[in-house]
Amino acid sequence: MNADAPIGVFDSGVGGLSVLRALRAALPGENLVYLADNAHAPYGERGDAFVADRSLAVARQLRDSHGIKALVVACNTATAAAITQLRDAHPGLPLVGVEPALKPAAAHTRTGHVGVMATRGTLASQKFAALHGTLAGQTRFVLQACDGLAEAIEHDDAAKTEALCAHYVQAMGPFGGRPGAMDTLVLGCTHYPFAAGVLRAVVGPDVRLVDTGEPVARQTQRLLATRGLLAQRTQGGLTLLATGPLMALQAAATRWLAVQA
C-alpha cells in the first residue's frame, strides 16, 4: 500500500466533517477524500441492512476510484451497522469507525449521570447495546434518540436545530453539576458537534460535551504509523465528493472547515 495514497472518509452527509476537521488537524500532511452519501441520507433513520449495503458500496468506490490507503467511517450509524462487514470485505485496509464516547464520558463525569444524544439507528444497534452494557453498572446513562436533528443540521436549518436541541435536552432531564443531574453530554452523532454552541446554551456552562473526532484522528494516526503509511508531506489536499448535490457539502466545508470550495 502506498503512503502517498489518500485516506478515505465517509458519512451520509455533512456530519462527518466534524471527524474530518479533527483528521486535518492531527494529520496535516495527508491527502483526504471525503464522500457524503447524501443521495441516501440520513442513515440514522434507515435500517441496518440498507446502511450496510451503502457503506460497502461507498468503500468500494473509494478504493476503486481513489486508491485509498485507509478508511474512516465517520458515522456512528454506519459504524454500528457495517463495520464488521467492511472489515470482512477489506481485510488489508486500515479501518477506523466511530462510536458514541461513552467510555470517556464515564471517566469524566462527577455526578455519575451522563446524557447521550444519538440517532435512533445508533441506539438500537447491537454494537451500542454491547458498549452500553459494559458501562451501565458504573454510570447512569440517559439515552435520547434525536429524530430529525441530523437532518436539520445537514440543511443548516438554524431554527429547527435550536428547537430540536431544546426539546431533546428537556426530555432527558436536569443537567448541571448538582447531585442527580447530568454533568456530561455525549454527542453520539457526527453531525451534533456542529450544534455544540446551541447545546451549550441549553445545558449550561457546567456540562461537558464529548464527541469522538479527536480520538478517531489519534487512532487513524496510530494505525498508519504502525504500518509505515504516514505521508511525509507537510501539507495535504482535500477532495470533496457527494452521491447527491455537491453544493451543500461545499457550503458546509466552507462554513465549518474554512475550506475554499
3 state DSSP class of 86: helix
Q: What letter does residue 146 receive in the DSSP assignment? A: -
Taking the C-alpha atoms of residue 246 and residue 239, their distance in angstroms, rounded to an integer, is 11
Nearest to 176 by CA among 166, 184, 168, 188: 184
Which one, of 4, 17, 1, 12, lies nearest residue 237 by Cα?
4
The amino acid at 164? L
Contact 79, 97 (CB under 8 A): yes
Task: Specify the pLDDT at position 62.
Answer: 98
Q: Note the pLDDT of residue 217.
A: 96
Secondary element (H or E) of residue 144:
strand 140-145
Query: Which of 232, 234, 251 has the alpha carbon at shortest distance from 28?
Result: 234
Tell me if residue 258 falls in helix, strand or coil.
coil
Residue-level pLDDT, tens digit, the chain, 261 residues = 799 999 999 999 999 999 999 999 999 999 999 999 999 988 887 889 999 999 999 999 999 999 999 999 999 999 999 999 999 999 999 999 998 999 999 999 999 999 999 988 889 888 899 999 999 888 999 999 999 998 899 888 999 999 999 999 999 999 999 999 999 999 999 889 999 999 999 999 999 999 999 999 999 999 999 999 999 988 999 999 999 999 989 999 998 887 654
Sketch out the chain's domains with CATH numbers.
7-98+213-257 (3.40.50.1860), 102-210 (3.40.50.1860)
**Which residue of the set 20, 62, 75, 78 is catalytic?**
75
Is 146 catalytic? The answer is no
Q: What is the pTM of this model?
A: 0.89
Cβ atoms 190, 74 nearer than 8 A: yes
User: Which of 23, 165, 169, 189 does the annotation list as catalytic?
Assistant: 189
Measured from the Cβ of residue 225, the count of other Cβ atoms closer than 10 Å reads 10
198's grid cell? 446551541
